[in-house]
Structure 1
Amino acid sequence: MEEQDIQHATADDGTPIAFAERGVGVPVLLIAGQATGMHGWGPFADALARDFRVIVYDHRGIGESGLGDPAAYSTRAFADDAVAVLDAAGVAAAHVVGHSMGGRVAQWLAAEHPERVRRLVLIATTSGDRSAARRDPAAVADLLSGDRERMLPLFFDDGWAAAHPADVDRFFTRVATRPALRGHFAASRDHDGSAVLDRIRADTLVVHGRHDALTPVSHAHLLAERIPHATLTEFEARHGLHLDTPEVEEAVRAFLLPPGQRPAG
C-alpha cells in the first residue's frame, strides 16, 4: 500500500492504535491477520482504494500501535480497537474485510456492533468451533517458527511469491515484541465465536482456499452455514489468497459494490 500519513485512534484502555487511509467512497475497514501490520495488505488494499475509502490499521502490539497489556489480548478486545479506529476516522459504518485472525476479530465486530458493519467479508478464517477439523500441527509449527522460508509455502503460490518479492516482504515484515507476538498467537488460538455467528446481521461473503493448511476449508463451510446471510466462495489457493489470487479481489469488489456498479457476469 502506498505511503500515507499515519493517524492514531485511542482504545478504551488508552492504547494508541495507528491507522491510515486512502481512496474515496464508501469506507472499507481491513482487519489484518495475526501479528500482521497494516502495510501487509499491499496490492489488495491498493486495488480496493480505486472504488472505496480504504482504512487499514496496526493491531495493538504491532507496528506503530501501542502495546497495551499482551496478557489481555483477545479477538473480542481487538474488535473494540476496530471500533476505536472507526470512531477516530469519523466513520459510522463500514464494509469490513478480515483476513485470518482479522476474520475472527471481524466476527465479534459484526456480532456485537452490528450498526457499524455494512457488509462483511471473512477470508481464510474460522469461528473457532472446537468440533471443526484441527489444524495440521506441522503447519502450525512452521507458522510459529518465524522462519520466512518455512512460512511462505503456507500462504502463497511459489510462482507468485517469486514474481512479487516486495509484496511478500511487506506481508511478512513486522515490528513487534515477543510478548506481543505471544499475545497475538494466544488471541487467535483461543478465539471461539461460534455462539455469536447467528447474531451477525450483515450480508457476508466467506472466502477460502481449498489448499489452506493453516485453516482447513471445512471451517469456511461452518461459517457459511451458521451466519444467517452468508455465501461461500472457494478458490484453488492457500492462506494468503487475498494477495496471490486476483479472483479474490475481484469477488470482494463485486460483493461490496452497489448492484448497479458490479461487474457483469
Structure 2
Amino acid sequence: MTEQHGHARAEDGARLAYQRRGDGRALVLLAGQANNHLWWDRVRGDFHATHSTITMDYRGTGASDKPDGPYSTQGFADDVIAVLDELGVERADVYGTSMGGRVAQWVAARHPHRVRRLVLGCTSPGGEHGVERTNDVRRVLAGPGAAEALADMMYTPKWRADNPGPYTTLGDPAMPPHAVRGHLRASNEHDAWQVLPRIAAPTLVLHGDDDVLAPVANAALLAERIPDARAHVFPGARHAYFEEFRPLASTLVADFLTEAEAR
C-alpha cells in the first residue's frame, strides 16, 4: 500500500503535516476539534478498497506548526486546500466529522470544483441556526472530570467496556494551551448557514441520535439547507458513531462515495 507523509505550506507560511495512504480516488478525512490525524486510525482502512485516504494535522496539532494567530474553520478549510495543492489533487471526496464537518462545509462551499462528494458527520451549521450543546454539557466539559465525561459523550458505556481504548478521539495531548483555545474559538464561532446552499457536491449527513456534543437536530438542518443532501441517523449512537457503529457507518459512506461511479 502506498504511503506518503510530508508538509504543505499554508498561505501564511505555516507548515501543515499530511498523511496519504492507499491508492485510488482521494478521500480527505477531517478530524474533530483539538485532534490530529489519529482520530481516523480505526476507520480509514475501511475506504482503501476504492480510495486513498488523506488526513492532516490541523495547525496547532500533531506535526503541524502551532502559531499563536487566529484560528477559524474558514482558515482550516484554506489549509485543506493547501494540502490538496501540495499533493496535486484537483478534486477529492471529503468526509468531515465534528469540527471537521464544519471545516468541510467551507471547503465544499468555497471550492465547489474541488469536492466531488461530501460527507458531514456529527456536525452543525453553527451560528444562530445551529443547535448547540447545552450549558450543562459545557460545564461538565470544563470541570475536573472532563476527560471521563468526554469519553462518555463519545461512546456508550457498553462499547467502552468492550473496547477499553486507548481512544484517539479525545484530543491531542501535546497541543499548547493557546492552540486548544484557538480550536475551541474556531468551532464556537463557526457559522456557514449562508453559504450552505452553494454546496454543489452530493452530500450525505450522518449523526447519532444520542449525541449531546452536537445535537442530532443539526442533521436535519444541514440536509434541508444543502441542495442534493440526504441524512441518516444512527439510533443509540453518541458523538463517535463512526467508530462505535463502524460497520454500518463505513458501509454507508463507502456506498455513497461509489454510487456516483455507476451513474
Q: TM-score, normalised by structure 1?
A: 0.92
**Residues 13-54 of structure 1: per-residue CA shift (max 9 Å, x gap):** 000010101111110000111011101112211211232100
Distance 1:163 1:261 in 2: 38
Distance 1:144 1:177 in 2: 17
SS of aligned partner of 2:41: helix
CA RMSD for the aligned pairs? 1.9
1:222 positional shift: 0.7
**Residues 121-168 of structure 1: per-residue CA shift (max 9 Å, x gap):** 0000000141343312222233345732111111112222233334x4
**Residues 177-236 of structure 1: per-residue CA shift (max 9 Å, x gap):** 000000000000000000000100000000011111011111111100010110011002
Distance 2:73 2:260 in 1: 32
Aligned to 2:244: 244
Mapping for residues 13-52 of structure 1, pairs under 5 Å: 13-52=12-51
1:261 positional shift: 7.2
Corresponding letter in the other structure for 1:116: R
1:248 positional shift: 1.1
Structure 2 gaps, min length 5: none
Check conservation: 1:139, 1:154, Cα contact below 8 A. Answer: no
Distance 1:151 1:204 in 2: 28
SS of aligned partner of 1:159: helix
Mapping for residues 137-216 of structure 1, pairs under 5 Å: 137-145=135-143, 147-166=146-165, 168-172=166-170, 174=172, 175-216=174-215
Q: Which of 89, 92, 95 lines up with 1:94 in the alignment? A: 92
Count of residues paired in the alignment: 258
Structure 1 gaps, min length 5: none
Could you say if the C-alpha distance between residues 5 and 52 of structure 1 is closer, same or farther in structure 2, counting changes exceeding 3 Å?
closer
Distance 1:126 1:26 in 2: 27
Q: TM-score, normalised by structure 2?
A: 0.92
1:171 positional shift: 2.2
Q: Which runs of 4+ in 1 moved over 4 A?
A: 259-262
Aligned to 1:130: 128
Distance 1:159 1:10 in 2: 43
Mapping for residues 108-127 of structure 1, pairs under 5 Å: 108-127=106-125
Distance 1:44 1:249 in 2: 8
Distance 2:27 2:137 in 1: 31
Aligned to 1:107: 105
Aligned to 2:53: 54
Could you say if the C-alpha distance between residues 162 and 90 of structure 1 is closer, same or farther in structure 2, counting changes exceeding 3 Å?
farther
Corresponding letter in the other structure for 1:59: Y
Distance 1:202 1:254 in 2: 16
Could you say if the C-alpha distance between residues 18 and 157 of structure 1 is closer, same or farther in structure 2, counting changes exceeding 3 Å?
same
Distance 1:151 1:36 in 2: 13
Corresponding letter in the other structure for 1:78: F
Aligned to 1:7: 6
SS of aligned partner of 1:130: helix
